[in-house]
Structure 1
Amino acid sequence: MTEEQDYQQLNGIALAYMGDAAYEVFVRRHLIEQGLTKPTKLHHKATMYVSAKAQAALIDLMNTDAILSEEEQNYFRRGRNAKSYTHAKNTSVMTYRISTGFEALFGYLTLSNQTNRLAELAQWCIEQVEAGRLANEK
């Protein structure tokens, strides 16, 4: 099986597993570059970017701003619609499923080696959080 076939065959949960880690690295790098160094402060600040609520709000903004391609939307839906055996913590099931779709999108971009697009979307997400565009995170 080729590398391309591998990620195309993965279920949404596996893509989300990869995407969660990929997006988290961008956020952690951003926070450290901002001068944050204390673990408790880093963790608290990171949740503003990586919580299920934040990710669901970011997907809503991506749809509002129409920045996702049809293929990217398909991978988001694959993650959102995937059967998950874990439960949402501190959020609704729907918000959790939407955030799983967000992570699946990032997993797809990572595994398909679309590093420029991955960095572009991650930076866009960070900018939206920094600009205070996530209404449900207040």
Structure 2
Amino acid sequence: MYYCTILGHQCRVWGLARNCSQHSRTPQHNLRSGRSSVQAAVKGFGPAAPSQILDGNPILPPVPNLDGKDVRANWNATALAFLGDSVWELYVRRHFFFPPSRLIAYYEGVTSQVRAETQETYYQLLLSGEFITEKERDVLRWGRNAKVNIPPRFKASGKHAETYKHATAMECLAGYLYLTDPQRLHALMNYLGLGGSLST
């Protein structure tokens, strides 16, 4: 949604080239309203905190201002897994972005790491080792026990639903750490071999 700087109303339009519901949008109007929508979108996001900086580079987009809200008290495990899915994928895509390669190589590398089966392997690795804290183990249990819709490919192929639940647990932990401790998230992804520096 774009804020119309001409008539002062919100334009319910998806594309910059389309007409506003109230009037035709000029290119200059599009530019101003696009800028306004960006400014509105970043409200509540300040500059990256020191804990979100690694080697002078931002690790991820800045964490939204939670106004002191307790993450687990305000969001359920599936909501954190929803966020964690994108956090996980961003790390994986960045990991395979270096060295420069063909698009198909990027795609194959990323696909191999975002599959539930691979995430389950990481889940088992974390539970069998000593890297994660008791609190993080608790978040994994919370994510594993979340009520989720199991995708048809797991039901149709006879794969155990636990695989998908373990993948959900990993995404839940990624979302939780992104909101509460981005530096710890980066340490976790490094431990799993998916971190790395932005410059490498």
Q: TM-score, normalised by structure 2?
A: 0.57
Matches within 5 A, 1:52-71: 52-71=116-135
2:188 is matched with 121
Give 1 or 2: higher helix fraction: 1
Structure with higher Rg: it is 2
Question: What pairs up with 1:1-138 in 2 under 5 angstroms?
Answer: 2-38=67-103, 40-87=104-151, 89-90=153-154, 91-112=159-180, 114-126=181-193
* CA displacement at 1:77 relative to structure 2: 1.1
Deviation >6 Å, runs of 4+: none
Q: Percent same amino acid among aligned pairs?
A: 29
Say which structure, 1 or 2, has more relative contact order (CA 8 Å, 6+ apart): 1
Equivalenced residue count is 125
**Which whole-Å deviations, capped at 9, do the CAs of 1:35-73 have from their partners, x for residues lacking one?**
2341x3212111222210111101111122221111111
Offset of 1:123 from its aligned partner? 1.7
Q: Which amino acid aligns with 1:94?
A: E
Gap regions ≥5 residues in structure 2:
1-65, 195-200
Question: Normalization by structure 1: what TM-score?
Answer: 0.80
Consecutive unaligned residues of structure 1, counting only runs of 5 or more, are 128-138
**Contact 1:7 1:111 (8 Å CA) reproduced:** no
Tell me how far apart the structure 2 counterparts of residues 53 and 88 of structure 1 sit (CA, whole Å): 15
2:148 counterpart SS class: coil
